A and B are shown apart, each in its own frame.
Chain A
Amino acid sequence: AQSVSQHNHHVILSEAASLELGCNYSYGGTVNLFWYVQYPGQHLQLLLKYFSGDPLVKGIKGFEAEFIKSKFSFNLRKPSVQWSDTAEYFCAVNKEYGNKLVFGAGTILRVKS
């Protein structure tokens, strides 16, 4: 069965620090990849997605992610975090022709002002 691993469950950063959140998945075939974010008190929102093409994808609010097929990874990055980026971040995978998202356990990011 597919699984998704997010390496850090809690990350604390100061404002302006750079962010990288790891995500690895365990499916060997073609995949569709997503990062979702859940701000405090809000519902899950799509941050960015990758289906095909350029493995470096850009999302909202200055986030980007890089798909490295050989490493089964889809890491999320942001060069300079803001206090408003405090949230929980979920990586999710849907295999090609699949019908459901498989989520990682999430990473809680706290940005100190």
Chain B
Amino acid sequence: DTGVSQDPRHKITKRGQNVTFRCDPISEHNRLYWYRQTLGQGPEFLTYFQNEAQLEKSRLLSDRFSAERPKGSFSTLEIQRTEQGDSAMYLCASSPFRGGGQETQYFGPGTRLLVL
């Protein structure tokens, strides 16, 4: 079990540029989640996938954000036309599906984004 991995770990970009982050979940996990965490706050839910289907998106996920999980394995999160308010830690988590909301989510190390 290698855990959830994320790449890159850090990203510095200029306002208006596009960025893409990658998440590789634990291999047997069919659920994958994205969260965003800003300083002094807990993680906030952005979206989740079950296999390749994106089943829920938060209102936090504006039109500039898009997430994919094309083959039900790794996922990408893209932010277009970045803004300074997008600066945050972007966390990925994965879980097996159990039902009843009893999934235990395992988190990756995160990608820290700084928009200048």
Contact = CB atoms under 8 A, between A and B. Distances in A.
Given A43-B107, A43-B110, A46-B106, A97 B100 contact: yes
A105 B38 CA distance: 10
Interface in A77-107: 90, 92, 94-106
Contacts of B55: 99
A106 B41 contact: yes
Interface residues of B, number: 26
Contacts of A44: 43, 91, 107
Nearest to A34: B104
Given A99-B55, A100-B33, A32 B45 contact: no
Name B's interface SS. loop
B101 A105 contact: no
Contacts of B103: 94
B74 interface: no
Contacts of B104: 34, 46, 49
A101 B42 CA distance: 10
Given A103-B44, A105-B40, A105-B42, A96 B100 contact: yes
B42 A103 contact: yes
Contacts of A9: 40
Contact of B56 (A42, A99, A104): A99
Given A32-B101, A44-B91, A103 B109 contact: no
B45 A101 contact: yes
B105 interface: yes
Question: Which of the listed residues A9, A49, A96, A103 has the most CB atoms from chain B within 10 Å of its own CB?
Answer: A103
Contacts of A105: 40-42
Interface of B: 4, 33, 35, 40-45, 48, 55-56, 58, 91, 99-110
Pairs of residues from A and B, 6 with the lowest C-beta to C-beta distance, nearest first: A103-B42, A100-B45, A44-B107, A98-B101, A43-B109, A94-B101
